[in-house]
Structure 1
Amino acid sequence: MVKPQQIDELQLHDHFYLTSGDICIYLREYTPRQGYEYSETNRLIHNFKKSVDRKGKKEYYYKEQAIDQIAREIAACFKPIWLQSATLVPIPPSKTKTHAMYDDRMTQVLKGIGTWIGGTCDVRELIVQTENMEPVHLHNDDRPTPDKIRSIYEINEDETSPQPKHIGLFDDVITAGSHFRAAKDLLQDRFPEAKIVGVFVARRVPLF
């Protein structure tokens, strides 16, 4: 069983866009550049990120299985009262909704949590991405800054009512923390009274 942990002061240098005021929880640790077979977490993340152009093929089953597993693990790691009272918000994927490669895997995870807690969750896509970007894991040497990311993020005003008081901001792997920084700051400006917590399937750990 996975055990949720909070990113602490000693780990902030691994995620340098985070500050000591951020509350970020992770369930697992992902090791980059070590491949699919390196660990259970690496396999899970590999399957979770499997491209949507594989849909309809036998291998796509493993992506669907990963989505279900992550929903189950989140449900097991957090109190149902928080999961049902907070607004659960996915950080947008790299492609816009109109792109053929748009992948709403994190939204699917959040919508699947209710199955495991026997209730319903307030899942909202509060942030809309207005331009396509390359997936971060495909350009490790040229990662976008929070300012760049925020410039293509917008609040989805159709989803803002009722106003959220507690927000869980979800993503698969936290690396530098640039997407979290952009998303949290955008939401905090729009909902200044809301308490925002980041939740990640895994944090990237350094090799050395």
Structure 2
Amino acid sequence: MARGDTNQLIHNLQKKKKRNDGGHQYKAPAIARCARDLSAVLNAEWLAQATIVPIPPSKVKTDPAYDDWMVQICKGIRVPTPPDVRELVEQIASMDTFKGGNGKSPAELKQNYRIAENQLQNLRGIVGVNREHHSHIQLFYLQRKFRSGIGVRELDSKHS
């Protein structure tokens, strides 16, 4: 995929949920494409042992601007069957988006996260966290939370 194509894909993923914001019709195909692309590169054996933890968006679930596109991508992966996807990391309060130049420090991000205790039962042996600008926070947090031997790894093509 050319750089311009990649930038356009990311731009389409970041479209607002509101249908009147323009370009909304490109969001669902972008989500499907990302899920297909991940399905093509992830190792099925690794995925069968993993729980995928999408990074939470900048808004909490009760916020009208909440957008679960990362969850939709992860749930759309098929290698050869759907993976175990859990929203283990939750935000406590909505924040401004990173895209708007309002990046938070790792400490600020960490203070705004909590573990969804109701999602902990029967976790698989590896917890895969998708990469985003602050995924290292979740990795650190999850590693501390799950010192019991669950391996926490970033979800990328290294596991294909």
* TM-score scaled by length of structure 1: 0.69
Q: CA deviation at 1:163?
A: 3.5
Unaligned 5+ segments in structure 2 are none
| Residue 154 (structure 2) pairs with residue 195 (structure 1) | no
1-structure distance, mates of 2:54, 2:137: 13
Aligned residue among 82, 96, 104 for 1:120? 82
The answer for the alignment partner of 1:59 in structure 2 is 23
Q: CA deviation at 1:200?
A: 5.8
8 Å Cα contact 1:84-1:120 kept in structure 2: no
SS at match of 2:58: coil
Structure 1 residues 26-54: Cα deviation after superposition (integer angstroms, max 9, x where no partner): xx9xxxxxxxxx61100000001111123
Change (3 A) 1:200 1:78: closer
1-structure distance, mates of 2:58, 2:74: 18
8 Å Cα contact 1:95-1:103 kept in structure 2: yes
Q: CA deviation at 1:118?
A: 3.3
Normalized per residue, the structure richer in strand is 1
Normalized per residue, the structure richer in helix is 2
Structure 1 residues 134-177: Cα deviation after superposition (integer angstroms, max 9, x where no partner): 110111xx421111001010000000011342011014xx4xx4
8 Å Cα contact 2:76-2:82 kept in structure 1: no
Q: Which runs of 4+ in 1 moved over 6 A?
A: none
Unaligned 5+ segments in structure 1 are 3-27, 29-37, 202-208
Aligned residue among 21, 38, 46 for 2:11? 46
* Percent of pairs with identical residues: 33
SS at match of 1:88: strand
SS at match of 2:138: helix
2-structure distance, mates of 1:163, 1:113: 18
- What's the C-alpha RMSD, in Å, of the aligned pairs? 2.1
The answer for the alignment partner of 1:78 in structure 2 is 42
The answer for the alignment partner of 1:31 in structure 2 is none
- Size of the aligned set, in residue pairs, is 156
Aligned residue among 133, 146, 149 for 2:95? 133
Matches within 5 A, 1:1-208: 39-54=4-19, 59-114=23-78, 117-139=79-101, 142-171=102-131, 174=132, 177=133, 179-192=134-147, 193-199=149-155
Q: CA deviation at 1:58?
A: 7.1
